[in-house]
């Protein structure tokens, strides 16, 4: 059974029970009040009949009834009737005597137009002695006694008083009112059902549609939230789930894309040198290298290409081990100032003949060599950190097109971290390439020629290592003036290990 139907049934049942209880209560009260009502219908029709008469009405009607049987002529005596009227006056009742079709006597308050026509006809046996009559919108309740006068004309004597028209109106309209009430209940039922189904069923249907969409792999939509109630919370949870799912699917796609690109790049970077090696080998075989000098040159090239490939495979291997988190790091407390000084003096020695200036500056403390300067300690893997510096320096040398090459190191020690900046006077990096240079295999120059660049893994490896040190690595560059690579590493407290 659907929730909609269940709600409808429960509302209907609720209303029915209410109505039944209401009717039962009314019936019980009626029985309790009147003592002898066997049907609710009786209560309704005999409402006036059971309404007790006032004392004067009671006695006057009993007396007139007695006279009607024993001495009807006395009911035509005006003096006697006036005396009865006086007794009835305190309860606003009067007396009316009908003889034949004429009104023989009526208390002034009963002398209203149409009264004669409204009087009930003579009734043998006097069964219906109490009722209400209406004339021109006014209502009168009466107790009557029908009789025969001495001259055999039929007549009647009425003890009568005016009643509120509203009571009578209510009495006549009661069935309509009850019908109206039932109609209202039914309408209410419909309205409640509509409102509830709007707030429960509709959002549920929306969720159902959403689930079907998700099942079919469609994730680009928005699940509308309906209010803050339980259904609203459910919708919100669904929406969150959809977002998470979408994110994870997109991430998956991104991974897939990366993997494809990686394979294509590796294939390309391995294929190119192999092809040329094969070319040179072929040349030697075919006797193109017919002089010892040529042969030497061919073999040189083959060796160079093979070395490049070896290097590429090494880098690839290193990168993939870093990527998989399989490369062990041996961290130690390192005085970064001394470490850099050592590295720079080594580098200076290596590059002396190549006309490259190597500078080192420790910012914020010109007296860096003074023994009082506390060492700036970082937790680092010595060899891996050298690898980072080597990769950066390698780029600075490789891409530098100036005759006077310069590489400047600077170290700045802050409270919580150290900042190492390595800048060169090279050509700088195209701003469009800037966001990608730390990506694996990315090279600003897209031809992937081995003559103008490396594997595109150098900075990616550097970033992996710096990340492992919980540091950051960034690049800034001015076109034509140079590039600066900024590395930050967190400082640690305590003595050097």
Applying CB under 6 A, which residues contact ligand ADP?
A: 391, 395-396, 399, 424, 426-427, 429, 437, 442-445, 453-460, 483
Is 399 exposed, middle or buried (CB count within 10 Å of its CB: 0-12, 13-18, 19+)?
middle
Nearer to ligand ADP, 408 or 455 (CB): 455
* Cα 488 to Cα 494: distance, rounded to the nearest angstrom: 19
Q: Judged by CB under 5 A, which of 458, 462, 463, 489 binds Mg ion? A: 458
Nearer to Mg ion, 380 or 459 (CB): 459
- Size of interface with Mg ion, in residues (CB under 5 A): 3
Residue 479 to residues 57, 150, 426, 458, 476: CA-CA distances in angstroms? 121, 140, 9, 21, 10
Q: Which of 93, 87, 121, 91 is nearest to 107 (CA)?
A: 93
- Gap between the terminal Cα atoms of the chain: 75
Residues 235 and 226 sit within 8 Å (Cβ to Cβ): yes
User: Contact between 488 and Mg ion (CB under 5 A)?
Assistant: no
Kindly state the DSSP code that residue 72 receives in the 8-state scheme.
Answer: G
* Cα 483 to Cα 395: distance, rounded to the nearest angstrom: 10
Nearer to Mg ion, 458 or 482 (CB): 458
Partner whose footprint covers residue 490, from ligand ADP, Mg ion, none (CB < 5 to 8 Å by kind)? none
Partner whose footprint covers residue 483, from ligand ADP, Mg ion, none (CB < 5 to 8 Å by kind)? ligand ADP
* Cα 432 to Cα 447: distance, rounded to the nearest angstrom: 16
User: Contact between 395 and Mg ion (CB under 5 A)?
Assistant: yes
Partner whose footprint covers residue 429, from Mg ion, ligand ADP, none (CB < 5 to 8 Å by kind)? ligand ADP
Nearer to ligand ADP, 72 or 482 (CB): 482
Nearer to ligand ADP, 413 or 484 (CB): 484
Q: How far is the CB of 424 from ligand ADP (least distance, A)?
A: 5
Region of 128-136, 313-321, 447-455, 468-476 interacting with Mg ion (CB under 5 A): 447-455
User: Contact between 454 and Mg ion (CB under 5 A)?
Assistant: yes
Nearer to ligand ADP, 280 or 319 (CB): 319
User: Contact between 455 and Mg ion (CB under 5 A)?
Assistant: no
Query: What residues does 98 pair with on adjacent strands?
Result: 103, 156
* Cα 75 to Cα 415: distance, rounded to the nearest angstrom: 126
* Cα 130 to Cα 160: distance, rounded to the nearest angstrom: 10
User: Contact between 141 and Mg ion (CB under 5 A)?
Assistant: no
Nearer to ligand ADP, 94 or 458 (CB): 458
Q: How far is the CB of 453 from ligand ADP (least distance, A)?
A: 4
* Cα 200 to Cα 207: distance, rounded to the nearest angstrom: 11
**Interface with Mg ion by CB under 5 A: which residues?**
395, 454, 458
């Amino acid at each position: 059974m659907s929730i909609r139907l269940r709600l409808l049934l429960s509302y209907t049942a609720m209303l029915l029970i209410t109505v039944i209880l209401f009717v039962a209560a009314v019936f019980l009260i009626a029985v309790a009040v009147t003592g002898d009502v066997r049907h609710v219908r009786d209560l309704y029709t005999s409402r006036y009949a059971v309404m007790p008469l006032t004392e004067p009405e009671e006695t006057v009607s009993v007396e007139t009834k007695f006279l009607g049987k024993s001495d009807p002529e006395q009911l035509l005596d005006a003096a006697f009737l006036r005396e009865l009227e006086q007794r009835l006056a305190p309860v606003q009742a009067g007396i009316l005597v009908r003889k034949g079709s004429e009104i023989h006597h009526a208390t002034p308050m009963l002398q209203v137009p149409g009264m004669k026509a409204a009087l009930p006809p003579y009734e043998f046996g006097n069964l219906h002695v109490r009722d209400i009559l209406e004339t021109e919108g006014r209502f009168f309740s009466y107790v009557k006694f029908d009789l025969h006068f001495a001259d055999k004309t039929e007549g009647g004597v009425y003890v009568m008083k005016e009643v509120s028209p509203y009571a009578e109106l209510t009495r006549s309209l009661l069935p309509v009112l009850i019908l109206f009430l039932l109609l209202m209940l039914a309408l209410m039922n419909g309205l409640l059902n509509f409102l509830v189904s709007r707030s429960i069923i509709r959002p549920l249907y929306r969720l159902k549609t959403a689930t079907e969409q998700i099942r079919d792999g469609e994730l680009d939509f928005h699940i509308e939230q309906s209010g803050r109630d339980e259904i609203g919370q459910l919708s919100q949870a669904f929406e969150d789930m959809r977002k998470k799912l979408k994110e994870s699917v997109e991430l998956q796609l991104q991974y897939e894309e990366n993997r494809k690109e990686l394979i294509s790049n590796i294939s390309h970077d391995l294929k190119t040198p192999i092809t040329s090696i094969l070319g040179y080998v072929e040349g030697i075989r075919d006797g193109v290298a017919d002089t010892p000098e040529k042969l030497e040159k061919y073999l040189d090239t083959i060796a160079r290409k093979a070395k490049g490939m070896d290097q590429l495979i090494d880098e690839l291997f290193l990168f993939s081990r870093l990527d998989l988190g399989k490369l062990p790091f041996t961290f130690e407390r390192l005085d970064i100032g001394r470490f850099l000084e050592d590295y720079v003096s080594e580098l200076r020695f290596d590059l002396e003949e190549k006309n490259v200036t190597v500078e080192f500056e420790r910012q914020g403390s010109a007296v860096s060599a003074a023994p009082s300067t506390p060492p700036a300690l970082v937790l680092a893997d010595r060899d891996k950190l050298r690898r980072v510096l080597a990769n950066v320096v390698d780029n600075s040398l490789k891409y530098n097109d100036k005759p006077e090459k310069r590489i400047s190191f600077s170290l700045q020690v802050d409270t919580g971290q150290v900042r190492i900046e390595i800048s060169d006077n090279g050509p700088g990096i195209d701003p469009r390439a800037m966001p990608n240079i730390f990506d694996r295999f990315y090279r600003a120059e897209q031809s992937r020629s081995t003559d103008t660049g490396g594997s595109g893994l150098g900075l990616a490896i550097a970033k992996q290592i710096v990340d492992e040190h919980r540091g950051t690595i960034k690049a800034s560059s001015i076109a034509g003036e140079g590039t600066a690579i900024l590395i930050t590493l967190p400082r640690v407290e305590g003595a050097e290990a």
